[in-house]
Amino acid sequence: MEILNYTEEHRIFRDSLRRFLEKEITPHVEEWEEAGIVPREAWKKMGEQGYLAMGVPEEYGGPGADFLYSVIVTEEMTRTNHSGLAAALHSDIIVPYIQSFATEGQKHKYLPGCVSGDIITAVAMTEPNAGSDLAGMKTTAVERGDEIVLNGQKTFISNAINADLVVLAARDPHTEDPHRAVDLFLVEAETPGFEKGKQLKKVGWHSQDTGELFFNDCRIPKENRLGEKGSGFLKLMLKLQQERLVCAIGAVAGAEYMLELTIKYCKERTAFGKPLSKFQNTQFEIVEMATEVRLGRTFIDKLVADHMEGREIVVDVSMAKYWTTEMASRVADRCVQLFGGYGYCEEYPIARAWRDIRVTRIFAGTNEIMKVIAARFMGL
């Protein structure tokens, strides 16, 4: 019995998306990896075909689709074996902040562009000295009349260079409670005082335009605060459940993709006169990996079903985020070993997959933080 109830419409959508990606995205991945960024035209093509911000209601220009469509996009984008066109980050992590907390005017102003690909979003939480500890952020937001004045620096921001609209986390320096001090703000890329810094050179995720953002007396209208003053930390907590679930979905999909590549290679590659897949060690390695991947898939599918039913699964998602990303990293390393020397060569896709999966244990809250969250909820 399947845990998730995919309809025929879901299957048709997956098939059409996979064909689109095979034609419009995958052939350009090597070029984008070399360039270190995905051109805006690719985002536009995704939007034109209806593959961005699937959950945005029709009244704001979206398809109003259920979360399973987002799951499909995350899984199929993972199979393109690159990270630059971060559709899941844009559609299912950042846009929901606007959809849930922005004013009606802001929703009508920004959401249609988020759906069409004309507006690329980023979320700015991490700072040089404040990563998983959101209460320790230093970026300030000070009210002056009808404006908010922003000052501070953010780093490790995905989509930083391409971003047109940033959901920024900043704190009121006059509020002592570190949690009540945090708010979220909408900041447009062309706002005076907002500058994009250098693009960061990373071990993996080469086509992802990860960078630094600077705010120097950056003034925005007071209405650009998302929700009531002092509610930012709570809003982050409410949305981190889906962020970590999306991360876990991508990890499982990545593990499935790497295992698929490796099984195909082991059936084709011969040693001592027979395919690698006929050696007992190879068989044991593949079966062990396949078992872990299957366990991850079952776990994630159950959490997706619970999430769609509106259940609070903060502990489960924290567990899933750390376990699936650790599992995917183990699978990646074992797959490279089975590829042998070829697995360490850039011309083989397993090399990039191995390199790129590592960061999933760090972003969306480090895996150590995931364990801390779970431990607290368990009363430990």
Which residue numbers are catalytic? Answer: 243
Do 84 and 209 meet the contact criterion of CB atoms below 8 Å apart? yes
Six token digits for residue 221? 């209208």
Q: Say which residues have a Cβ less than 8 Å from residue 194's Cβ, sequence separation at least 6.
A: 150, 166, 187, 188, 213, 214, 215, 218
How do strand 194-199 and strand 211-221 relate by DSSP bridges? Answer: antiparallel
Beta strands in 39-89 (DSSP E): none
Beta strands in 163-255 (DSSP E): 165-171, 182-188, 194-199, 211-221
Q: Say which residues have a Cβ less than 8 Å from residue 350's Cβ, sequence separation at least 6.
A: 258, 261, 262, 265, 332, 335, 336, 339, 343
Rounded distance between C-alpha atoms, residue 15 and residue 329, angstroms:
28
Q: What is the largest CA-CA distance in the chain?
A: 79
3-state helix, strand, coil in the chain (%, to 5): 55, 15, 30
Six token digits for residue 24? 């419009």
How do strand 121-124 and strand 165-171 relate by DSSP bridges? Answer: parallel
Rounded distance between C-alpha atoms, residue 195 and residue 215, angstroms:
6
Do 183 and 141 meet the contact criterion of CB atoms below 8 Å apart? yes
Collapsed DSSP state (helix, strand, coil) of residue 228? coil
Six token digits for residue 111? 């959401």
Rounded distance between C-alpha atoms, residue 48 and residue 46, angstroms:
6
Lookup result for tokens 């002092």: 230
